[in-house]
Amino acid sequence: MDGNGRPGRLLIALLLYEQKVLRDPMLYLSLYFKTHRRYYYELLNNVRLTGDWEAWLDFFAETVIVTATQAVETARSFSTCRTGTETRSAVLAGRRHPPCRSTER
């Protein structure tokens, strides 16, 4: 192990980007790993000692799912906030029908 895991976490995001799983390397997996630090290191150690990749990959998949879900929720929250701000700005500027941007497709 490298001691703090930062290079590995960076490589994960870049690998997902390179494999076209992500359009942009925007998932911040480190917070989830940090929150579950003890289990994270236990799984890494098990890979090193016994080759137990399956448990590590299950944990990693869970990390990506949880982090991606949070990223989508955050993006939607920002989008709603932005649309609300634009609507208020349009009304203040005297436009009758402010532009509306929908985040749903």
Q: What is the pLDDT of residue 98?
A: 45
pTM > 0.75: yes or no: no
pLDDT band at 22 (very low <50, low <70, confident <90, very high): low
Alpha carbon distance 105, 99 (integer Å): 17
Q: What is the pLDDT of residue 66?
A: 92
Q: Choose the weakest-confidence range: 3-7, 29-33, 53-57, 92-96.
A: 92-96
Question: What one-letter code names the amino acid at 80?
Answer: T
| Stretch 87-104: mean pLDDT | 50
Alpha carbon distance 44, 67 (integer Å): 19
pLDDT band at 50 (very low <50, low <70, confident <90, very high): very high
